[in-house]
Structure 1
Amino acid sequence: MTGPQRIVCLTEEPTETLYALGQQDRIVGISGFTVRPAQARKEKPKVSAFTSAKVEEILKLKPDLAIGFSDIQADIAAELIRRGVEVWISNHRSVDGILDYIRRLGALVGVAQQASAYADGLQRDLQVIADTAAKLPRRPRVYFEEWDEPLITGIRWVAELIQIAGGDDVFPELSREPLAKQRILANGDEVVRRAPEIILGSWCGKKFRPERVAARPGWDTMPAVRDGQLFEIKSPLILQPGPAALTDGVREMARIFQEWGRLHG
C-alpha cells in the first residue's frame, strides 16, 4: 500500500471520500462533527472540531498526514506543522473543485484511477439531475440561508448545485465570496426585495426553524413564505464540500424543485 498510512481527517469530506474509495483503514482519527458515513463515527476516534483540535491526542495517533479544509483550520494546521505533522489543507469552493479534490485525494493515497472513476460517476449523476431539471416549467428563485444570526447566504458550491437542480440562487454575486463573513446580509430587506419562491435553510450545527424565518418582519410578502415553501436541508448533506453535497444534498434540492414545478406547471 503506497501513500500515507495513518491519516487524521480534520473535517468530514476526506473521511467520506476515503471510505467511498475503500481506503478507510488508513484513517486513524476523524472530526467530531463527522456523521457520514455512520460507520466512521462508530469506529474512529474523534480528535477535532471545526476550529479546534486535540493536538496531543492527534500526536498520540502518530499520523503521517492530517487533512483539513480552508482558512477555518489554519491555526490547527499551523500547530500540527510546528509539531512535525505533514498537513494538507484543501481550499476548494466549487462543484468542479469538489470533483478535483476527490481525484487529488485518491492520487495522494495511491488509488488515482479508482478516484477518477468515482468522480466521473458523480459528474454523470449531476448531469442526469441537470437534464431532468431542464424540463421544469419554470426555474424557482431560491434563497439559501447558511446561518440566521447574522443572516449568511450560500457558498459557491451550494449556488452551483441549486442551478444544477433547477433553481436560481437569488444571491449569485455573494456565492462567489469564499469567506462566510463576506456573505453576511446587513438585514433581511434585500431578501424580501429579491422575492425568492423557495427558501432553503441549512443552519450549520442546529435545526432550521422555518416558522421563525416566516415570522421575520416583512417576510410574509415573499412568495416562498406566502406559499409555505421553506425547507431544511441538513447541514451534513450540503455544507461539507465533499461527496454528500454532490449526492444526497443536490438530490434533496432537486426533489423540492420538482415538487414546486408540479405546483406551478
Structure 2
Amino acid sequence: MKTLIDQIGIKHSFETSPKRIISLVPSQTELLYDLGLEDRIIGITKFCVHPYHFIPTKKIVGGTKKVHYEKIRLLQPDIIICNKEENTTEIVEELRKICPVWVTNIITIEDNFQMITDFGQLFNCRTEAQKWNDKLAFALSDFKNFIKDKPEQKVAYFIWKNPFMVAGSDNFINELLKLNHFQNIYADNSETSGRYPEIELKKMRLHGDPDLVFLSSEPYPFKEEDAFEIGRFTHHAKTVFVDGEMFSWYGSRLLKAFDYFKKMHQKL
C-alpha cells in the first residue's frame, strides 16, 4: 500500500501504481507523456494538443471547465489528474465519485519540481521524473545566469478580451515574469487584486505605465487590432505577441520555455 499526499493536501492510498489515467490538464498531459506514460493515458481534454497524436488516438472527455462524466465513468479510470486553477472544485468533487482525483497546485517553479517528483512516485517512474527535474534544474540555473544582468522592465500581460483581463499575482505566469526581470504592473496592486483581474485600459497608465505589453496566444488569441487598441492607452509601451504556452504551461514544457525566453530577450 502506497500513501501519498497531493498538492492541496489530500491523502491518497494505492494498492498498486495507477494504470488507467485520465488527465484534465493540457500541460500535465504533456508531462505524463514525457515521463513515458503514454500507454496508461486513456482520456484527455480537447485542449490537450501536445503531443499532437493524442487528439486522434485518446478518448476526449470534454474541456478543462466542462467534462463529460459518463464518458469518464465508462473509461473506468484508476486516477484522474486535475489542477486547482484549471478545474473547478465542483468538477473535482463530482469526479471523486468515480475514482481518486489527484489535484496539483502550481504557482512557483518549486511547485513544478514537486509535481514531477510526485508523479514519479505515483506512477512508479522515479528515474524518468528525476531526469526531468535534473534537466529543468540545470536549465533554470543557466537561465538565471543569462538574465542576471538584464535590467527590470515594467510589463502588463494580457490573457483575455471582453472584458480585458491580465495576469495578476499568485500565479505561475507572474512567477515566470519575475524570473525574466519583468515587473508585472498588475501584481500586488490593491485596485486590481486577484490572480487574473479585469482591468480598464484607460487606467493602465495609473497602474504603472508599462514598458512592454504582452499579448498572449492563449486562452484568448490576440490580434493586431487588439495591439492597436491597447497601445492607445500607454505612453511608450512596446507591444509583443507572446506564446502563452511558454508562460503558463508547467511540467516538462518549462524546458522549452527557457530557450524561448532567451530568444525573446534577444529580440527585445
TM bracket, shorter-chain basis:
0.7 to 0.9
Measured on the aligned residues, the alpha-carbon RMSD in Å equals 2.6
Structure 2 vs 1, CA of residues 248 and 210 (structure 1 numbering), >3 Å: closer, same or farther? farther
Report the equivalent of 1:251: 259
Alpha carbons 1:161, 1:250 under 8 Å: kept = no
The answer on whether the counterparts of 2:24 and 2:63 sit within 8 Å (CA) in structure 1 is: yes
* 1:63-212 superposed matches below 5 A: 63-70=77-84, 72-82=87-97, 84-136=98-150, 138-154=151-167, 156-173=171-188, 179-180=195-196, 183-185=197-199, 187-193=200-206, 194-202=208-216, 204-212=218-226
Shift of 1:49: 0.4
Does the aligned pair in 2 maintain the 1:145–1:202 contact within 8 Å?
yes
Deviation sequence 1:195-235 (CA, Å, 0-9, x none) = 2111111253332124323324851x4322xxxx3222233
Deviation (angstroms), 1:120: 2.5
Structure with greater helix percent: 1
Letter in 2 for 1:242: G
AA aligned opposite 1:170: I
How far apart in 2 are the matches of 1:211 and 1:153?
18
Consecutive unaligned residues of structure 2, counting only runs of 5 or more, are: 1-15
Q: Would the aligned equivalents of 1:142 and 1:167 in 2 still touch at CA under 8 Å?
A: yes
* Residues 1:231 and 2:246 aligned together: no
Give identity over the alignment, percent: 22
Q: How many residues are aligned here?
A: 249
Name structure 1 gaps, 5 residues minimum.
261-265
What's the CA shift string for 1:143-182, capped at 9, x where partnerless?
A: 11121222322252212212223432222316xx7743xx
Deviation at 1:16? Answer: 0.9
Secondary structure at 2:204 match in 1: helix
Runs (4 or more) in structure 1 with deviation over 6 Å come to none
Partner residue in 2 for 1:240 = 249
